[in-house]
Amino acid sequence: MNLTRRVLLIAAEISLAVLSCAQIAERPEPPQVRATNHVVSLTLHAVNENGRDAFRFEGAVVAPVIRASPGDVLKITYINDLPPKSSETCAVNPCMDMTNLHFHGLNVSPDAPQDDVLTMMAMPGQVLHYSVEIPRNHPPGLFWYHTHPHGESHRQVLDGMSGAIIIEGMERYVPEVRRLRERILVVRGRSIEHDPQAADLSRQVEIPSKGCGGEAEKVEEIFTVNSAVRPRIEIAPKERQFWRIVNASADRYLDLQVDGQTFEIVALDGMPLAYHEPKSPKRTTNHLLVAPAGRLEAIVTGPPVGTHAALRTRCVDTGPVGDPNPEMVLADLVSPGSGLPRADGMRHQAYTPDDRPPVYKPIDVDPFKKTAPDFTVTFTEDKNGFYINGQKFAADASPMTSARIGTYQHWRIVNQTAELHPFHIHQVHFLAYVENGVPLAQPAWLDTVNVPYAGSVDVILDFTDPAIKGMSVFHCHLLNHEDKGMMAKILFK
């Protein structure tokens, strides 16, 4: 290598390092909003800043972390300050800049003024008043909130209109986490399709030049962690930390891995493993596929002295017509006192101890596994859109199916397309136990599950909570697909 080329390479590396540090330094730490007298009260504004839609909270463009306990009420005033005419592109044009909120994964009412994504909608200049009652028996865990206006949800979530919700009490199921440093990691997709720094950003997160799976398109998105590109996470060698990770991307998968370490999983999609299996409060894995909207809560141990480790996502083959999901580095793990900039928004959070005994809900699902499906969801797509059971979503449509409160149902989710689709249903969790007709080695209670292309998943849905009564929805959580029709109504009665 000649001297000139070597100097240029060193200069490029320095530029990337400076860019990374500058981005980290500019990111404010997300504020934490907690309950006063069992009420979590806040005001959010939907705004457009520098051509991107965002949340504004207490004068700053930032999505606060909402922390609540079972029995609390979320009182949220949501003000639509978006411009009357949008300059952005939506899945179904023209963009109307309408918006609302969805409280993803919470077992709460789908009726107004709670988790209603069907009739609660604010046009520019309008205000929504949410009053979301968290049941006293609600499981603890990581949830999240994001906008859900049909036809415009993909654009708003891709722009970053999302934030974390913590329902306190995980220490009741895994006492060890009370003593651990907690990190809330909100992973979002960031479009680089028209970004002049796209090449530099791709190198910064170390996207390989070779494609992933069957993809032929160029990479259009990278991931950020708490809105920063490749931040640094302080963790001492052998230190154990409690990480709570949400895949808040609009349409990208994460196959999470920490170099040389394991995840000691304690909860998935806001559901403690011990809640249904008291004798199995943890599960250990080297990596985990987390669908868009999925969450992972796990204990992570710091790498040995003198080794470099990163939190990364591995290559995900999304199918012959799926979008690129290449491997990339999400964050670097560094020792405390290394002198390197730290990742904003990832500090220790003090717990409010909950001394109530844990509630367990073991369920004998074997009888449901032996019956034919009560309902089948079939995903299809063509050049005109995306469908569930041959139908596109319509706001005035009748519910496609119904479920009686107090029951369980066996559903089969069939994917007749050539790309992955994540299935999500509002208000409830389900046990995913069979994939492509083969029992899963580790069945899991989730609210969002990956459905393999040209394949299927069988689930047992829990409709027993009386709080969920009302009209709700289920859909593909690739939000571009949901916007284009892949959603349907369900009546909980």
For 41-98, give the DSSP string: EEEEEEEEETTEEEEEBTTBS--PEEEE-TT-EEEEEEEE-S-SS--S--SSSSP---
Give the C-alpha separation, 142 to 125, whole Å.
31
- Which one-letter amino acid corresponds to residue 116? D
Residue 319's Cα: distance from chain center in Å? 21
Q: Under 8 Å CB-to-CB from 163, ≥6 apart: which residues?
A: 30, 55, 63, 64, 65, 66, 144, 145, 146, 186
Residue 15 has a pLDDT of 40
Residue 349 has a pLDDT of 47
Taking alpha carbons only, the member of 206, 81, 63 closest to residue 145 is: 63
User: Token pair for residue 389?
Assistant: 């059971």
Residue 341 has a pLDDT of 47
Give me the count of residues in the chain: 493
Residue 27 has a pLDDT of 43
**Which residue ranges of the chain lie beneath pLDDT 50?**
1-28, 340-351
End-to-end CA, the chain: 71
For residue 195, the tally of other CB atoms under 10 A from its CB is: 14
173 close to 266: Cβ distance less than 8 angstroms = yes
The DSSP letter of residue 426 is S
User: In this structure, are strands 401-403 and 487-492 parallel, antiparallel, or unpaired?
Assistant: parallel
